[in-house]
A and B are shown apart, each in its own frame.
Chain A
Amino acid sequence: MTDFDQKLTEMNSDKIPNLNPDEFLTKLHGRIHASHQNRQTGFAGLMMLLVVGFLSYTQWGVPIETELYYADETEVIFETDFWTIDVDYLEIDESYTEDLAYFLLDEGDFWDTIDLLNELTNEEEITL
């Protein structure tokens, strides 16, 4: 062994002072416990993220449906309360006109009845 080797070995032959194994073990167990808790917290956090992610994807319980950005029927687009009122009004108007037509027939005004029915048909076509 050369002098340099000897010096290297001698330099590192110090003894470590004040070593307390119990204290060391307490710290080690604390670290193991903390690590275990961190792992549990991390796992719970991950699960929470997955659940929130899944619920967000499914819109919090709403079933996944393909949204249609177009309507199959034009009525769906224009279906409003006003339209409904208008339709109701047309039906009422129709029954009223039919009653009127029966009355006119009873009265014997055949041509007036024909005119009224023509008028009703034309009005429907204009409205639609």
Chain B
Amino acid sequence: MQNDHELIQDYQDGNLSAFDEIVRRHLSNTIGFFFNITRDQMASEDLAQDVFYKLFKHLKNFRFESAFTTYLYRININTANSWLTRNKWKNFLHMDQTPDRGELDTSLENEWTKKELWDAVAKLPKKQRTVVMMRIAQELPYKDISAVTGMSVGSAKVNYHHAVQSLKDWLNHD
């Protein structure tokens, strides 16, 4: 079985089925990441389409300097950041439309819903938001977060700590 770098090399050599294999291999993880953020299967598939479309366009320039997963996480994070920012404005413009809590989150009996959580995450500063997304939606260890974002492990921990404090305040007081 070929590893990611071998498949990318094949794709760069013109073998398009190698790209399909890359997609199949990372699809579940990518959609899972977006599903955790959007709570909507259609939206998560659309975002995953965006990610793999970007990948299709840019993978020819992949320089094999980092692990492919690191590269993919970066695209995931950028796409999720864009979606959260877009969604924040959408929510702002539809402030009068209060969501139906039952439809949004029926499986958990929390004081706050997932929507409220991710709306709050959208309000975080970009660095904190990125770390939170990777910790919560992707469940990545700090070491991997450090590799993807380029910040040190300590910085990632501090950012996560501040983010969690802010979320706790916002969600428990709103």
Contacts and interface: CB of A to CB of B under 8 A. Distances in A.
Interface of A: 2, 4-5, 7-12, 14-19, 21, 24-25, 27-28, 31-32, 35
Contacts of A32: 53, 56
A4 B164 contact: yes
B53 A14 contact: no
Contacts of A5: 164
Q: Which of A15, A17, A25: most chain B CB closer than 10 A?
A: A25
Contact of B52 (A8, A11, A19, A28): A28
A18 B41 CA distance: 9
A16 B108 contact: no
B44 interface: yes
Contacts of B101: none
9 contacts: A5-B164, A9-B136, A11-B110, A12-B36, A14-B36, A14-B107, A21-B23, A21-B27, A32-B56
Contacts of A35: 53
Contacts, number: 61
B80 interface: no
Interface of B: 20, 23-24, 27-28, 31-32, 35-36, 41, 44-45, 48-49, 52-53, 56, 107-108, 110, 114, 117, 135-137, 139, 164, 167-168
Contacts of B56: 28, 32
A16 B30 CA distance: 11
Contacts of B32: 15-16
Closest 5 CB pairs of A and B: A12-B36, A16-B35, A21-B24, A8-B136, A12-B136
Contacts of A9: 135-136, 139
Given A8-B136, A11-B114, A16 B44 contact: yes
